[in-house]
A = this chain, B = another copy of it.
């Protein structure tokens, strides 16, 4: 567990080099939001090609009762990483942008943060100093910004933030930067009897604030990193409070562990985009019967970002190296996706 916390903390804090971008704000804010997922089940934004064909072939094979690869509906489980797979993760995980903004918003009530690390460095915009403090710094930031609230209170805070926060370079709402082809994929799989789950390194309550509305995925079908909860009476009323203390990190080897614990079935299809998803895809596709692993490769520097092997965020090395031998589908965003984000409504 400690190793995983360290890896996640390192990824988060390395990207803290981008904090100054966020601190300067963005002058081109727009108010468009993600459209609701396509209800037709059609992959309209997917260009013809080997990636789309492989996915459609798999779905046809697993849903045809006459096919040797047929999978009964009760076993049709599809899992999706979130950051970089369902929505954009550059220049930093959205949840980290939330944390930074929360520290700034809570600053007035915490004069001690002006002289207490890692808050003091964060408030001065000194990302390197924050990053140098390692995983302990991330833990302190999560505890300060996520702890002490009920899940409902926390989610309301996230929703209020999503309504006003804007991405530093696109000026879009963060929840408008979900991938339209993936919204179509969720609908397509559901139309074919698959149940769709998120399995993300992000915090589960952070995702539960928007995933139902944006992705059509209910709260109980979201597996993520969790903080501990505490049962307490507030004015005599039973209340479940987030402690902010990290309980489970759903990344790397933690993803198949989280799936086994929370979903209780090995998936038939797994979508990811980074080496943090490697073990999830490997475990999924090592199962008996028809299984499919899909990697979303970020290749579009014009419409999104182009990154894989050399990136701190969404680093993808082993997945690319082993995808051919493992039979995993690699989606090339620039080539395979006709559109990236949903059309604003």
The interface of chain A, by Cβ under 8 A from chain B, is 74, 151, 195, 197, 204-205, 208, 212, 218-222, 226, 229-231, 237-240, 253-254, 256-257, 260-265, 279, 282-283, 286
- Interface pairs A-B: 8 shortest CB-CB: A219-B264, A231-B253, A240-B260, A238-B283, A220-B263, A229-B257, A238-B282, A237-B286
Is chain A's interface secondary structure helix, strand, loop, or mixed overall?
helix
Query: Known contacts being A238-B279, A238-B286, A283-B240, is A220 close to B264, with CB within 8 Å?
Result: yes
> 5 additional contacts, CB 8 Å, given A226-B261, A231-B254?
A195-B220, A229-B261, A231-B256, A240-B257, A240-B283
Give the complex CA separation of A257 and B264 in angstroms. Answer: 19
- Chain B residues closer than 8 Å to A212, beta-carbon distance: 74
- Chain B residues closer than 8 Å to A226, beta-carbon distance: 261
A-B contacts, 26 of them at CB < 8 A, read A74-B212, A74-B218, A151-B264, A204-B261, A204-B264, A208-B264, A218-B265, A219-B264, A220-B220, A220-B221, A220-B262, A220-B264, A220-B265, A229-B257, A229-B261, A231-B254, A231-B256, A231-B279, A231-B283, A237-B286, A238-B279, A238-B282, A238-B283, A240-B260, A240-B283, A262-B262
User: A181 to chain B: closest CB distance in Å?
Assistant: 25
